[in-house]
Chains A and B, each alone.
Chain A
C-alpha cells in the first residue's frame, strides 16, 4: 500500500514538474531531460519483473491524459515498451555497475526516440528529420543521461540500504 501511494505521488510530481514552466529555463537545444524515463529504467534495473512496465504504462497514461496533443495511449505505449525492455539487462549484466547502467540508460533513451519516431510516422505526425534527430534523440538522450547520474546513485544506494536492513531483520 505504501509503495502504491509513493508511486502515485511520484507520478504526480513527475507530471507536474515535466510540464512546469521552470524547465524552460534549463532547456538545452529546446529539449528537456525525460524524468519519467529515468524512473522507469531505474525500476527496471532494481525492482521486480512486472512492476516497472506497469508503472511505465501508468505514468504514460497520465501524461497522455493531462496535456499531450498526441493521441491517447501514445506515451503509454512508448513507456510500456521501454519499461518491459528495461527488466532484461539485469539478467545478463551487473546493472549495479555504474558504467553498465549508464550505457543502458543511454541505449534506452535512444530507443525511446526511435520508437516515438516510428509511432509518429504511423499516426501521421511529420517532423523535420534533422531537427528531430538532434533534439529528440541526440540532445535529449545526453541530457537524460547526465540527469540520471545522481538519480541512479541515490536510487542504487537506497535500494541496497533497504535490502540490507531487510536481511538484518
Chain B
C-alpha cells in the first residue's frame, strides 16, 4: 500500500495533468447536453455584471478624456451645426408635407406596414476574443423584455443592416450570434432578380458570408452590384433589412441545380458599438 501511495506521490504532477485533460476532453464530448448549456448560462450570468461594471468604467474614462480634448472641436461644430439646423428647418417643412401625402396615399392603397417591430437599443459590452466576431454581448436582457431569437440590427450609411439574432438571454445581458458565425443561416432575397436564397456565416474571413441555394437559371449582369436583403419568410427576421452585396460567384459543377456566391456583409463588426434588438409583436 505504501508502494502505491509512494507511486501516487512521486507521480502527482502527471496524474493531476492526466485527470484534468480527461475532464476537458469529456466535457468537449458532452458539451451539447442541456445541463452544460444551463451551467454555461449560469457562468455567463455571473460574469456579465462584471462586464457591465467594466464597461461603465471604460465609458467614464473615455468620456473624461474626450471632453478635455474635444472642447475646441465642439465649438466649431456648434457653429456649423447652427448653420445646418437652419437648412434642415426648411427641409423638415417640406418633409412633413411629403409624409402627410405618403400617409394619405398608403391609406388609399390599403398597404399594411411591413415592419411590425419595436426596437430596443443596446450597447455592445463584450465580444468573443476570436478574431471573427461570432458572438457579441449586449447590455440588455430579460429585464428589458429581450427574449431568445429576436432579430438584431444596426444602422450603416443610413440603412438598417442585419447584425444577427439573440441566442442567450440573462437578466441584464444577452448574447447575439452574428452573421459571421457558421451557426447562423438567414433567408435572403436578391433584389435584381427577386430570388429567394439562404445566407450563411462561414467563420472564414471577417466581413464575408456565403449565399447558397441560388437557382442556376438566375443570371446576373456583370458590373451591377446585387444587394441582399432579408427575405422575411421566417418568424424571426422582418423583410427588407439589408445584409450585404454579392461580390463573386463560386464556380459550380455542370449538373448542380444551385450556385453559391460570396457576400460582403454591409456591417463592420469591428467598429460596431450600438445595436437595435427588434421586438416582434408576435413574440411579445
Residues of A within 8 A of B (CB): 12, 15-24, 27, 29-32, 49-50, 53-54, 57, 60-62, 64-69, 71-74, 76-77, 80-81, 84, 87, 123, 125-128, 131, 135-136
Count of A-B contacts with CB under 8 A? 134
- Contact partner of B27 (CB less than 8 A), chosen from A29, A30, A69, A71, is A71
Q: Is the CB of B43 within 8 A of A21?
A: no
Question: Is B255 in contact with chain A by the CB < 8 A criterion?
Answer: no
Q: Which of A27, A32, A72, A73 has the most CB of B within 10 A?
A: A72
B21 touches A77 (CB 8 A): yes
Our pick among B25, B125, B127, B182 for the contact of A77 (Cβ within 8 Å) is: B25
Partner-A contacts on B (CB < 8 A): 12-13, 16-17, 20-21, 23-28, 30-32, 36, 39-40, 42-44, 47, 50-51, 54-55, 58, 124-132, 134-135, 137, 175, 177, 181-183, 203-206, 270-271, 273
- CB <8 Å contact, A76 and B128: no
Q: Are A73 and B25 closer than 8 Å at their CB atoms?
A: yes
> What would 19 A/B residue contacts be, using CB atoms closer than 8 Å?
A16-B51, A17-B54, A20-B51, A20-B58, A20-B125, A22-B58, A27-B270, A30-B270, A50-B16, A65-B40, A65-B44, A68-B130, A71-B27, A72-B27, A72-B40, A73-B25, A73-B28, A80-B21, A80-B24
> Whose C-beta in chain A lies nearest to the C-beta of B32?
A71
- Asked if B126 and A53 sit within 8 Å, CB to CB, the answer is no
**Residues of A contacting B13 in the complex (Cβ-Cβ under 8 angstroms):** 49-50, 87
B127 x A16 contact (CB < 8 A): no
**Known A76-B24, A127-B203: A24·B127 in contact at CB below 8 Å:** yes
Q: Is the CB of B204 within 8 A of A69?
A: no
Question: In the complex, A24→B125 CA distance in Å?
Answer: 11
Q: Tell me if B47 and A12 are in contact (CB < 8 A).
A: yes
Given contact pairs A27-B131, A87-B13, a sample of 15 additional A-B residue pairs in the complex whose CB atoms are under 8 Å apart: A16-B54, A19-B128, A19-B129, A21-B55, A24-B270, A49-B13, A50-B16, A66-B47, A68-B130, A72-B28, A72-B31, A72-B36, A76-B24, A125-B203, A131-B205
- Flag if A67 contacts B135 (CB, 8 Å): yes
- Cα A71 to Cα B14 with chains together (Å): 25
Contact A21 B124 (CB under 8 A): yes
